[in-house]
Amino acid sequence: MNGKYGIGIMSGTSLDGIDVVLIKIDGYGLDTNLHVVAFDTIPFNVELRNKIKKCISIKDSDSQLICSLNFELGHAFSNAVKVLCKKINFDVENIDFIGSHGQTIFHIPNDVGEFKRSTLQIGEPAIIAYEIGCTVVSNFRTMDIAAGGQGAPLVPLSEYILYKSNKNRVLQNIGGIGNVTVIPKNSRLDDVFAFDTGPGNMIIDETVFRLTGEKYDKNGEIAARGKIIYRLLDDLMKNKYIYQSPPKTTGRELFGAQFVHKILKKCDNEKIEDIIATVTMFTAKSIEYNYKNYIEPKYTIEEVIIGGGGSYNNTLLSMMKDIMPNYKILTQEELGFSSESKEAIAFAILANETLEGSFGNITAATGAYERVILGNITPAPKKFI
């Protein structure tokens, strides 16, 4: 296969680490062909994770820390690339470009009072470009917002390229946040739409951490031992975001630590496993509600393909299958893809689109007025491309 070597870097809302993928890619747009060479997740150390948590907290953040963390993350992203390449004995000098999403500090999808629609991802691309020696595309979300969109979701283009088929497919990513891409059978790109369904792993992980000290519920084992607290589930399902019609996008600012704090205040006498089972079901039920009300009226869902870290939560998958028995629910692994590498691949593809002068957003997903070229290009220090 001819083509270029590209790197995709993703640091998501789950804060588990840096996802980095090396791909070989040829062509662009609907003529894209790619091969995944290697993928790895480089965990954040405790100190760096805590700095990120502080920066994304409205209560604890400060401008000096954000300024410093922007460069510290640039070095961390560069190191992740080097670690992956060393692991497979691949010379970094052969990398043609990098697509780096950055770490989201805050995302405001719509004007709220005095706060304007905006987004901020950090992880200085100049550091990456200098240390690796290649062109870096970053800051993908801002141009979509400039064009009237919400800056998310941006994964649908890559999903359409990789998963279009003769079936009505729904791709459900369960990262920190849950987001869905709808690819109708035999569709054109203009037929694709996407939106954030609500919480993914974010509430589950934060609840597990506060109640047990663990980072997450491995394989859903704690939730599997619990029983649903229906009064709590009913209360959670009253959240206004769940009922909001697409296009819509959300994040840690809505379903983060403060949200979990409010949940736990209502659960003083409840068993730990019951609380975790209930917030796990909340993710499943929020997905079901969005399918029933915002997808099924347009298309009959034939396949649901689950990706992201949530695809490894067996209890969450079982809950989804129980409450949505009419859908064929698969994981990306069952189709020969990797759930973990999905978003990193997406931003490598988007970087390639940008460097080819091709549009990267889908208006039915983000709500933008028009399709636009995404991202900022930081040239290599001694060559442009």
Contacts of 89 (CB under 8 A, 6+ apart): none
254 is in an annotated binding site: no
Instruction: Specify the pairing of strand 135-138 against strand 33-43.
Output: unpaired
69 assigned binding-site residue: no
* Cα 47 from Cα 77, distance rounded (Å): 16
CB contact set of 84 (below 8 Å; sequence gap of 6+):
7, 20, 21, 22, 38, 39, 40, 42, 90
Is position 133 annotated in a ligand binding site?
Answer: no
On whether 18 is known to bind a ligand per the annotation, the reply is: yes
The answer to whether 23 is a known ligand-binding residue is no
61 annotated as ligand-binding:
no
Tell whether residue 360 is among the known ligand binding residues.
no
User: Do the annotations mark residue 226 as ligand-binding?
Assistant: no
CB 223 within 8 A of CB 181: no
- Binding positions: 12-19
Annotated binding site for ATP: 12-19
